[in-house]
Amino acid sequence: MRLPIRLRLTIVFTLSMAVLLAVTGGFVYLRLGAELLRTIDAALLAEADTVAAGIGQQGVTFSGPDAASARGLGSFAQVLGPGGKIKETSPVVTAGPVVPVSVLSGIHGPTYVDRVLPGIRGTARIVIVPQDSGRQRVWVVAGTSLRSRADTLSALLVLMLAGGPVALALAAAAGWVLAGAALRPVERMRQEADAISVSDRGRRLPIPASRDEIARLGNTLNAMLGRLEGAFDRERRFVDDASHELRTPLAILKAELDLAQSRPRTSEELLAAVRSASEEADRLASLAETLLVYSRIEGGRMPLHRQETALDEVLAEACQALATRAATAGVTVHAGPHGVTAFVDPVRVRQAVENLVANALAHTPRGGQVRVSATREGGTIRLAVDDTGSGFSPGFLPRAFEPFAAGPGQAGTGQEAGLGQGAGLGLAIVQAIAQAHGGRATAGNRAEGGARVTLILPAAR
């Protein structure tokens, strides 16, 4: 497995070709041997029939003019009578019957046997045909040497052994070239991927024109690069916006401290400076905590502990936590009983509702109202926070749930509980909590005035 994939493909292709050539060569070798033997058997049977047809006819002999050529080819014939007595024989097999008497007694039709005979090179192929001549049975025997068949098969074997390595070498070269051509798009994609850097994130891998697995791989990798580029851009914007949000309270804190030590101060002035610095420190701590929560959400690490939850209790606790702020702002908060339960994380849902109520309080004038409701529609629940404030501006609505999206004069600009002036993360965290539950959040303006933000969550397990 440590070999390059191109070499591995070539080796596999070559081994496959070797197996194919071996199987094909074996089949050709066996098939040719069988065909040659069938041809020899047909010729021997025809010769035996010719001899049988001439039995008893005057002038039939096996020592005629063709005897010499037959001897050169290793062909011979015999006519055997009862008891294996030789009635007629070719000159090349005069030593005795070519077939034992014990074999003759069991033959009742044309029978082929292979034997090694004196005077015949190699193995002899023999056909035995029983014939009735007058009142007695005779056996016509015709045979020939299989040396020519063996020579033909040997020549074929030598040819295959000599040509096989050459064919395998050509197959290996073809496999190497084909593997290189198949992997060339991969190499181009590798080179392009090596050239992609943080400063040049818009580059994408070249996709071959073919609609094969490599093209699909390239499309998948390009889609992944697009997601990574988007994630990188979001992280960079997050860091830039976080740095901007942190700069303001830090500057105020430093200004307060510098002013306190610029000249001698009374105890009241010093106490006011310390109180102001403490407020800015609280704001920085709250902002840091919110940034930490949102960074975990962005990393997909938001833990959820779902349980069957009575939403009336969650809404009441969220509103109670903001009761002091509501009283200070002169805004009435309603969260009447609804009798709705859902399988959710109560801590995360309360966090989302607190963010929404805090946003509404920050942008609802004195004497206004904020209403929190929970309704069930089929398999989903809808947690809505309505206020009587100025509502969202039309230009802000499309980016209301983006982190650090803030605009003066509209609700939902990111005023989180405990953040003072807000960091633009409130609605972003609400949307992330909804998505972690498998739901979503929506924002809009009410027809009678004011804003409405709705948290839509699945109710069932």
> Where are the strands (E) in 134-284, listed by range?
136-145
Q: What integer pLDDT is reported at residue 215 of this predicted model?
A: 87
* Domain boundaries 213-298, CATH class: mainly alpha
| Closest of 99, 94, 97 to residue 111, by C-alpha | 99
> In the sheet where 136-145 sits, what is the strand order?
86-89, 76-80, 136-145, 123-133, 111-116
Q: What values do phi and psi take at 56, rounded to 5?
A: 85, -5
pLDDT range class, residue 266, cuts 50, 70, 90: confident
Asked whether residue 407 carries a pLDDT value surpassing 80, the answer given is: no
pLDDT tens column, 133-165: 767 888 999 999 999 999 999 999 999 999 999
What average pLDDT is seen over the chain?
A: 83
Determine the average pLDDT of the residues in 327-341.
89
pLDDT tens column, 60-112: 455 544 444 444 457 889 888 888 888 888 888 877 888 888 888 788 889 99
Asked whether residue 130 carries a pLDDT value surpassing 70, the answer given is: yes
Pick the more confident residue, 304 or 311.
311
Say which CATH superfamily domain 5-150 falls into: PAS domain (3.30.450.20)
Asked whether residue 297 carries a pLDDT value surpassing 70, the answer given is: no
| Closest of 353, 276, 291 to residue 322, by C-alpha | 353
Q: What integer pLDDT is reported at residue 300 of this predicted model?
A: 52
Q: What is the pTM of this model?
A: 0.51
Tell me the torsion sign for CA atoms 338, 341, 346, 348. Answer: negative
The encoded tokens of residue 144 equal: 């020939």
Q: What integer pLDDT is reported at residue 408 of this predicted model?
A: 46
Q: What integer pLDDT is reported at residue 299 of this predicted model?
A: 52
Q: What integer pLDDT is reported at residue 426 of this predicted model?
A: 77
Q: What integer pLDDT is reported at residue 16 of this predicted model?
A: 93
Q: What integer pLDDT is reported at residue 268 of this predicted model?
A: 83
Cβ–Cβ < 8 Å for 323, 460:
no
Determine the average pLDDT of the residues in 298-304.
64
Pick the more confident residue, 171 or 61.
171
Determine the average pLDDT of the residues in 279-307.
72
Say which CATH superfamily domain 307-458 falls into: Histidine kinase-like ATPase, C-terminal domain (3.30.565.10)
Pick the more confident residue, 59 or 361.
361
| Closest of 27, 87, 7 to residue 55, by C-alpha | 87
pLDDT tens column, 3-46: 888 899 999 999 999 999 999 999 999 999 999 999 999 999 99
Question: Distance between CA 171 and CA 173 in Å, rounded?
Answer: 5
User: Which distant-in-sequence residues (6+ apart) come within 8 Å of 202 by Cβ?
Assistant: 229
Per CATH, 5-150 and 213-298 having the same topology is answered no
164-173, 200-209, 310-319, 397-406: the lowest-pLDDT one: 397-406
* Cα 79–chain centre separation: 77
Q: Where are the domains of the chain?
A: 5-150, 213-298, 307-458
Helix or strand run (H / E) with residue 12: helix 5-53
Q: Tell me the residue type at 157.
A: L
The encoded tokens of residue 15 equal: 């081994």
